[in-house]
Structure 1
Amino acid sequence: MSAEEQLVDTVDKLYDFRDNFICQNGIEKAAEKDKLVNLKLKEVLSSLMPLESKCPKTIYFLHYGRALNIIPEYSKECEDFLSKAVKRDPSLIEGWNLLGETFWKKGDIQAAKDCFEGSMKRERNKVALRSMSMVLRQIKCSTAKDNINNVIKSVEIAKGAVELDAVDGLSWYILGNAYLSLFFATDHGSKTLSLALGAYEQAEKVDDRSKYNPDLNFNRAQACRYSESYEKAFAGWQRASDLDPKWQDPHCRKEELLKYLLKVNLLVKQKGKVKAKRLHGMIASLNKKAVGLLSPENLVDKNVKINQVSISELAEGANPEKVVIGCVVCNFADVAKVPFTFAMVDKKGTCCAVTVYNLAEGKGMIIGDSVAIPEPYFNSVDITLPDANQTKCAFSSIRVSNPAMLIVNGKKVPEDHRAFVTASMDAQN
């Protein structure tokens, strides 16, 4: 083996040690991963130094910098080595990609973008494409429109990386993140979340190591939380915590959702704790006016059929040609901004939760409002919460992706009450 081959092989084995750490050592060792990778890095750097005089300078700078780049934090020494490598040979695609990752860690997004663009000018490659997808989602734009355009472009670029190599788990993971960002940046609904979840699933299918990626598990849990698959969300955050015990975000998200579900579960059961006399008055106030434009006499197209039904008559999933009417008994703005959640009772006194996405802050429904929901998407929540008491959580829920379809107090929700989703991913990719 030549000195150059030995150089490359040593650094390759360092990355193999990191990328397969959980597979080879078990999840019980997860808390020690960073420390052991850093120790392995020191060993590798020591073994590389005697090779410097035996290798071409450019190649040595490149792979010494590649070794330093394995740590998640920015390294000035790493930047210096990689900068020397691409300065000596500007055609080094791998060098530009590694230098771009270093600038990313440094927080210099524009410099990172320049590096990845430089790489793609020389050859369209999956590493630069998926890195550009990440960069575009981090660029701070002066307008919401520009931000949305960047996110849409990031999805297309991430698709390009997958097209170049359909069995690269990391490219599928980045595509999943791009779809998830699209959900957070636009008024797209559950379809976008399904695309994100599909990409994460494909990442694990093509590369078993993806299962041990804490960020993938965290982001997939985020997608599950907003698709209201709560058990999967809890499982994903727990998995992310197990894989990276020092990371607090999964635990925080788990506690936030626990608090939310416990309160929704309690107040739906108690019908918002509204006193019996007032509740009776609320139910009695529900009349034809609450349907507004959806009443037969107000429909422009007389061929359209909208049948008023009670909550108990709703089927799981979509309910076409049906409308359910209720009176708001409480909302949960104090425990979750996205989705805006309230509880309502129908004419029969049945209570359910309603989750409304893309509603502008401060424009939510208040106690006493009548709400008509056409073609409601119905879900029965029935899970055991992972809290100390293993609380049984069971309530009915209606999901509303577009608030413009709602009729509140007999009137359509104004356009200015709509807003893009403003929750965040928190993971870095």
Structure 2
Amino acid sequence: MPTQQKDPLAKATRAAEDLYHLRDTYFPANPDDKISKLQQQSDLALKLLDSIPQDTRKLPMQRATFEYLRGKILDVFPDYRKEAEDHLSKAVKLNPSLADAWLCLGNCIWKKGDLSSAKNCFNLALSKGPNKSILCQLSMLERKMAQGTENQAELVEESIQHAKEAITLDVKDGNSWYNLGNAWLTSFFVSGAWDHSKLLHSLKAYQNADKDEKMKSNPDLYFNSATVNQYLENYERALSGFEAASVKDPGLNAAEQVQKIVNLLDKLQNLFRGHIRKQLQLVGKVLFFVKHDCVTPLYYLLCDSNQACFVLSVYGLHSDAIKEGDQLTLLEPYFRCIDISWKEKCYQFKSIRVDFLEQILVNGKTLRPYNAVRTSIYAQHKS
């Protein structure tokens, strides 16, 4: 007896799912190769869809699924396609409860640049029932909408709340945890890149995301987690994270991030060793401001009253608040010894971190509020 053939609509559905799996897991060195492969697979998926007999498309529910699948297949590419929006719009009119059609439609409108309409689309979908995927996309969209607006802090807070709502629907879903990690990381930068508690919230969310096996293929998770570790000055974890991201997706600039950290560590180590040998007598003096490629923290080389040198990292201050030659008094700083190895090279130096301007006296005086950074600072990470 011949093997029973699958329902044509089910085969087309599976083809669409495979197409999106390819989009999310295939990262060739040449991005054009990915577009070419997506085009090839989408053409095959559309052929499967077109092979469905006309008789099976007559009922509203079946027709809605057909329109949704065609729109979804066409929308797999990064650029906006009006044909995709047209099919997805028909799908949600025919079957307003088709959640994934709403999700695809909102994303399609987002690509067009109409962020307000995309948000309305996601909210309309959520009014028909909770959905973790739509909540995640809404959270991402709110972070995008926050950029350059006066109410960015409010929008990012909404993003965090929607990310949390998605997790309550499925606490084991790695993508929801990853989205929450991104929301906390964005909040860190929006608030001026000084609040370490937000970094710790972000790192915890990424760690929970990593427990989901399907997230192992997501290079952005490794990249963003490495970014958090970089700002927490967990240099070894940051280096290994960026390297893992680079292996998974050569198109990311993760290798460049590795080199930036190595350059910074080389600079800090060389300054540290050089001034230990000189036994300088300047107690609490700022010897050098260390220029580097990241927005935060600020790095300085200091020498204390015991003629010991250490690296000082400062968060939440403008770069002109502390100058070379200033004498600093540090209140309740966080001290640790950096001792890491990377590519057969060792880095060892003493490090002190301060997070608030209230922890620093410059030449015996407190810093003024205008020295603090409380405005938006965006760093590179996948939203």
What is the TM-score of this pair, normalised by structure 2?
0.88
Q: Secondary structure at the match of 2:300?
A: strand
Query: Is residue 210 of structure 2 the alignment partner of residue 252 of structure 1?
Result: no
Determine which of 246, 250, 267 is the counterpart of 2:271: 267
**Does 2:72 correspond to 1:115?**
no
Counterpart mapping for 1:10-409 below 5 A:
10-16=15-21, 35-51=36-52, 53=54, 54-55=56-57, 56-140=62-146, 144=150, 146-186=151-191, 189-205=195-211, 207-247=212-252, 249-271=253-275, 279-280=280-281, 282-283=282-283, 326-333=284-291, 335-363=293-321, 365-386=322-343, 390-409=344-363
Cα deviation digits, residues 39-64 of structure 1 (max 9, x gap): 32222122211116233332111011
Structure 2 CA distance for aligned equivalents of residues 147 and 272 of structure 1: 45
Identity %: 31
Alignment match, 2:366 = 412
How far residue 354 of structure 1 moved from its aligned partner, in angstroms, is 0.6
Deviation at 1:422, TM superposition (A): 5.1
CA offset at residue 143 of structure 1? 5.5
Query: 228-237 or 4-13, which moves further after superposition?
Result: 4-13
Query: Contact 1:86–1:92 at 8 Å: present in 2 too?
Result: yes
Give 1:272 deviation, angstroms: 9.5
Q: Which moved more, 1:182-191 or 1:214-223?
A: 182-191
Q: Contact 2:276–2:308 (CA<8 Å) still a contact in 1?
A: no
Q: Distance in 2 between matches of 1:329 and 1:10?
A: 62
Give CA-to-partner distance per residue, 1:216-268, whole Å, 9 cap, x none.
11111100100111111111111111111122x21222222222221111112
Kept after mapping to 2: 8 A contact 1:260/1:336: no
1:83 Cα shift?
A: 2.2
For residues 77 and 143 of structure 1, do their structure 2 counterparts lie closer, same or farther at Cα, with a shift above 3 Å needed? closer
Say whether the 8 Å CA contact 2:185–2:202 is kept in structure 1: yes
Displacement of 1:164 in angstroms is: 0.8
Unaligned stretches of 5+ residues in structure 1: 284-325
- AA aligned to 1:40 is Q
Partner SS, residue 270 of structure 1: helix
Query: 1:339 & 1:401 partners in 2: Cα distance?
Result: 9
1:122 is paired with a residue whose SS is coil
Total equivalences in the alignment: 372
Out of 39-48 and 130-139, give the one that drifted further: 39-48
Instruction: Confirm or deny: 8 A CA contact 1:384 1:393 kept in the other structure.
Output: yes
- 1:428: how far off? 3.3
Q: Letter of the aligned partner of 1:418 in structure 2?
A: A
State the alpha-carbon separation in 2 of the partners of residues 140 and 255 from structure 1: 30
Q: Which letter does structure 2 place at the counterpart of 1:354?
A: L
- Residues 14, 41 of structure 1: 8 Å contact kept: yes
CA spacing shift, 1:114–1:168, aligned 2, 3 Å: same
- Residue 380 of structure 1 aligns to which amino acid in structure 2? C
Query: Which residue is equivalent to 2:3?
Result: none
Cα distance in 1 for partners of 2:146, 2:17 equals 35
CA distance in 2, matches of 1:18, 1:141: 26
Measure, in 1, the Cα distance between the counterparts of 2:112 and 2:44. Answer: 25
Task: Report the CA distance shift for 1:331/1:140 in structure 2 as closer, same or farther (over 3 A).
Answer: same
Shift in CA distance, 30/235, structure 1 to aligned 2, threshold 3 Å = farther
Q: Offset of 1:407 from its aligned partner?
A: 1.0
What secondary structure, in the 3-state scheme, does the structure 2 residue paired with 1:378 have?
Answer: strand
| Cα distance in 2, alignment partners of residues 107 and 77 from structure 1 | 16
- Contact kept, 8 Å, 1:330 with 1:342, in 2: the verdict is yes
Structure 2 Cα separation of the partners of residues 32 and 152 of structure 1: 38
Q: Secondary structure at the match of 2:301?
A: strand
Question: Where does structure 2 lack aligned partners over 5 or more consecutive residues?
Answer: 1-5
**Structure 1 counterpart SS, 2:374:** coil
Q: Is the 8 A contact 1:405 1:413 kept in 2?
A: no
Secondary structure of the corresponding residue to residue 52 of structure 2: helix
Shift of 1:33: 5.6
